Structures are given as C-alpha cells and as structure tokens.
A = this chain, B = another copy of it.
Amino acid sequence: MEHVNAPSSPSPATVGPLSGTEVPRFAGASTFARLPRVDQVEKVDVAVVGAPFDTGVSYRPGARFGPGHIRQSSRLLRPYNPAQEIAPFAVQQVADAGDMVINPFDIEEAIGQVQEQAAAFVDGGARLVTLGGDHTIALPLLRTMHREHGEIAVLHFDAHLDTWDTYFGAPYTHGTPFRRASEEGLIDHSASLHVGIRGSLYDRADLEDDAAAGFRVLSSRQFARDSLDGLIERMLDRLGDRPVYVSVDIDVLDPAHAPGTGTPEAGGLTSRELLEMIRALPPRNVVGADVVEVAPAYDHAELTGIAASHVVYELISAMALTHGKATS
C-alpha cells in the first residue's frame, strides 16, 4: 500500500522518502521523514535509530516514547534543504533502522545493549543518528564512536552539564554520561563544548568538575547578548577540525519551544537559534549524533517533536555535506 520513491533524488543509487504528492503526509510509512526502512535498501550511509529507554531519568519520565513521537512529528519534512542547498536523502542513503531492543528494568544491561546494537551499525559503515530516550544512552554511543574515531570532540546542546558523578549511588543515569565518558577517555578535552547551559546547580564545584572533564561552556545567557555569528565562531573555534559527535538534549530549548521534556529550565534557546548553530557545523565532520529527552506526555501539538525532528534533519544535512569524507 505504501510506495517508496525518490522524485527529487538525482542519484539512482538512493531510495528517498515516500513522496508527499503521492501519499498524503498524514498517511503511510511511520518511519522518520517517511524514509525507507533499513531492510528496504541495499546499503545505509546514515541510519536513524530509536533508543526507547528512560530508566535513567531523575524527574519527569516518558522519553521511552520519544522515538515514535519524533517520527510522527517528522512527517512534514521534505527532500530539499534550502538552508544548506542540499537534498540530504539523495546524496547519501538514509534509512530508518527501527528501535533498539533495550531492557527497561536494568540500566547497566541497557547500556550494554545500546552499545552492542550501535556498534553493529557503525561496523557496517553507517553514521548513526539516535533518537532518545534519555541522555543515559550517550555513554554507550560515545564508546562506539571512540572505538571508531578515538577521542572525539563532543558538541553537547543542553540546559544541563550532565557531568554529575552519581545519583542515589547510581553511576549511570541521564545526569552523568559525559562524566563517565571523560573518565573512560572517550572525549577530546581540547575540543568539547556545552551549548545552552543555564539554571541552578548543586554546587559551585559542579562547574569545576565539568571543566576538569574537558568541557567549555557557551551558556544560554550569552545568546541574549552576543550575536549569533559570534557564538558560532566560538563554537567552531572550540571544535577545531576534529570529527564531531553532536548530542542534543531537547531541553536546551526554552520550555516554550520544548515543553515535552523531563527537566525543563526557563531561559533557554529558541528553535531558530538551535537550528542555526547546527547549520553552521559543515564542513566539520559530524560522525554521529543523538537527539534525546523528548517526553511526549508533556508535549503539546507535537511542538517538541517537530523541533526535534528538524534538529535531526539538520544533523543529517550536515552529514550529507561531508558525505564521502573519511570519517576519522
């Protein structure tokens, strides 16, 4: 009943999304952007995969429903990105890999499952864009990245540092992935950056711990004062020319733009600011990415889901602009 075709694809080698002029956008495939499933294509350059898991959440849960919600909210995405002047699904084969199988009752087993399933994609040559789920999953994803690329520049959009140590004795939660990643030597201390940080902390030492873990900070407050071009320049300076892993906690957006999340903080970025930051990344080589912490039960009218799906679209577009580039 659903036909996959690629009317605006210049290359016969890629299978594009279901056409919006043949099947109404409210109908048909429930894959991300109505792209083909991985089993419908011969090779995969970029795999969009869900990680439906939220057991690492400390406040409002529900990100387990995030992958499905982002997919449902992505139905209006069209094949051509005028901001980047590229057709991201045509120059590279993008496909939806469905959801990872993850145990909701055991965090450490879950981390192992994410790591194993992510590795299978990466070993197959695909770049991975993971739809969370909570931020706990960034750790196994970074482990996979590290195996491929060595110490990686992490560009982390978030209201929170996520470099806390433990919480109720648990070392692996959505507040700790970058602390663990740093301890495990996965990230490049000279090229990692948080963007959008704001709100209250547990202690002044949180910031010192964070710096020690290898991060610098562009806070949300700076967006109220500095020009977007100035902020982009500082971001790019920090990243250098390292391969970049981009991790987007949707709570980097102001709650007005992303109510559907677990630990919202007032005073955040607009979706326009976030999208512009990501559009500025090429020709940096985005070798992997995640968009996490979308909790649909708190969303309204797919507001948060739409913002997240647009972020994913720009990440895939950035990957398209470096397609073919050696990824390490």
| A-to-B contact residues, CB < 8 Å | 1-3, 7-8, 20-30, 49-50, 52, 54-62, 64-65, 67-68, 71-72, 75-83, 85, 87, 97-107, 117, 167-170, 173, 198-204, 206-207, 220-221, 223-225, 227-229, 254-257, 259-260, 263-268, 270-273, 275-276, 297-303, 306-307, 310-311, 313
Pair B56/A61 contact, Cβ less than 8 Å: no
User: Contacts A8-B203, A59-B25, A301-B259: A264 and B167 contacting too (C-beta < 8 A)?
Assistant: no
List the B residue with the shortest CB-CB distance to A26: B64
Pair A55/B55 contact, Cβ less than 8 Å: yes
Residues on B with beta carbons closer than 8 Å to the beta carbon of A72 = 68, 72
| Cα–Cα, bound, A257→B306 (Å) | 14
Pair A267/B271 contact, Cβ less than 8 Å: yes
Pair A272/B301 contact, Cβ less than 8 Å: no
Shortest beta-carbon distance from A271 to chain B in Å: 4
List the B residue with the shortest CB-CB distance to A165: B21
User: Contacts A78-B200, A80-B200: A310 and B27 contacting too (C-beta < 8 A)?
Assistant: no
| Cα–Cα, bound, A227→B227 (Å) | 11
Shortest beta-carbon distance from A181 to chain B in Å: 19
User: Contacts A64-B24, A98-B28, A101-B23: A263 and B76 contacting too (C-beta < 8 A)?
Assistant: yes
User: Contacts A80-B206, A200-B77, A303-B255: A229 and B225 contacting too (C-beta < 8 A)?
Assistant: yes
| Cα–Cα, bound, A82→B199 (Å) | 8
- A49's partner among B1, B57, B303 (CB-CB below 8 A) is B1
List the B residue with the shortest CB-CB distance to A309: B266
Pair B297/A300 contact, Cβ less than 8 Å: no
List the B residue with the shortest CB-CB distance to A310: B266
List the B residue with the shortest CB-CB distance to A107: B105
Shortest beta-carbon distance from A214 to chain B in Å: 19
| Cα–Cα, bound, A254→B27 (Å) | 24
Pair B270/A67 contact, Cβ less than 8 Å: no
| Cα–Cα, bound, A60→B76 (Å) | 10
Pair A1/B307 contact, Cβ less than 8 Å: no
Shortest beta-carbon distance from A203 to chain B in Å: 5
Residues on B with beta carbons closer than 8 Å to the beta carbon of A306 = 255, 264-266
**Quick one: which of A55, A56, A168, A300 has the most chain B CB within 10 A?**
A168
| Cα–Cα, bound, A173→B51 (Å) | 21
